[in-house]
Structure 1
Amino acid sequence: MQTKKLIEKFHSEIQVNYIPIRVQLLLAVLLGNFFCSPNKFLVFDARYAMPKFYLYWFLSSLIVMGVLRGAHFFNRYMDRRLSWLTDFKPRLIRQILYGLLLPALLTVVFV
């Protein structure tokens, strides 16, 4: 009974703030530029004047946005299904697998 009251109090007082879509989009554009030119960040010289660069930038930003949105949906799903208080070990295992390893693997495969 005490555990149930503690869980209800925890969920009523703690509100999870997710990353807004605008911030995800900005991160996707910046990280997309980083994937296009990992040795120089936001440096536009003559080779970046080609339209091919902007195509690569768009595609890599799209990949990053897909990974960020997937992580966002997964975290919302996990918050509804498993609590950090009662299901800590299964939640942590799934968070590591699907929240860290899967986005990293998807990024490497797509890039």
Structure 2
Amino acid sequence: MHFRAQRKNQGELSLSDSIDGDGDGNSLSLMDTISVDDNMLEELDARDACVKVRRCVRDCLEPRESMIITLRYGLSGKRPMTQREIAEQCGISRSYISRIEKKALKKLEAAMEGR
């Protein structure tokens, strides 16, 4: 019975099993060779922050302000546009885009502090 159980588990490997030794005589386990970037929490925080910003842009700004902030910072998944590009698209001056953007960013800052 014992030999059957041994043969059954023959192909299994534990992460703590020694697979090699280094030059100083220390053993190297499989776990030591696996590299994991543990940035999942950071990614979740960033994703959560993006959702909050998009929601705030949608709920707190006028439609024109929302459109300009969305285009300017690429919140729709497209590349961020310059003030000049947005001005050409909207048919207004770049300085007017700048004023709208500045006003919208102040509104967003106030709204985000309140949340």
Same fold by TM-score, threshold 0.5 exceeded? no
More strand by share: 2
After TM superposition, the score normalised by the length of structure 2 is 0.30
After TM superposition, the score normalised by the length of structure 1 is 0.30
Structure with max Cα Rg: 2
